[in-house]
Amino acid sequence: MPLKGDIHTCADIACPVCSIFGRPAEEKVEAPATRLIIRDAELTEESVARLNELELDLNFTEVKWENVINRITSAANPRQMERVPAGSEFGFEMLYSVYDLKDQSDDVDRLKHLFEAMKLVEDDYLGGQGSRGYGKVEFKDVSIEARPRDYYEGKVDPASIILRHKAEKGTEIDNMLASFSEIASQIRSVLKGKG
């Protein structure tokens, strides 16, 4: 897989990374649009209330002092890092579009790569300074809604076709990966108008 800096990009129309997350504008590849849209993540009302009760350095963030020591001269270089306090919760949504719906390999199957990426983020970190313990995240209260084209054309009752898959408590992404074939089957049924 070719890399430009730290960003993967290729001309393979079947590449799951490029199909899900998109390609740079300068790549001239005839391919469907990016399948994934990630909305801004906002603090939950509960987190806002909790952070308002804390004595923080700034609104909703804390300042952590760190010290960088020059290994040759032993000179200290203190610095500040602004970060969101541990335990803060954010609500967000991701929209994943299905352009190709076949019985074998299709956009629904590629959705599993998104769940795998979410698991990798949980096992790694989000943002910078992860080696210092920043950016540890966990996905909780994950739900999936599948809506067929008829939903947007007003041809069906929205309540009758929206698939709601709620992961069990605990390691929700692990549970979703373990039950992916069932999830994929439910999504296909809804998108084909059989839900």
Q: Domain locations in the chain?
A: 43-92, 98-195
Between 131 and 42, the more confident residue is 42
105 confidence band (pLDDT: 50, 70, 90): low
Between 144 and 195, the more confident residue is 144
Report the pLDDT averaged over residues 49-73.
86
45 confidence band (pLDDT: 50, 70, 90): very high
3-state secondary structure string across 11-43: CCCCCHHHHHHCCCCCCCCCCCCCCEEECCCEE
Percent of the chain with pLDDT over 90: 17
Report the pLDDT averaged over residues 46-54.
90
pLDDT in the model for residue 42: 92
Q: Which tokens sit at 42? A: 């906002």
Percent of the chain with pLDDT over 70: 82
Report the pLDDT averaged over residues 72-101.
87
40 has pLDDT over 90: yes
Report the pLDDT averaged over residues 38-59.
89
Gap between the Cα atoms of 52 and 5, Å rounded? 40
pLDDT in the model for residue 157: 75
**At 51, phi and psi to the nearest 5?**
-70, -30
47-51, 104-108, 123-127, 174-178: least confident range = 104-108
Report the pLDDT averaged over residues 126-146.
84
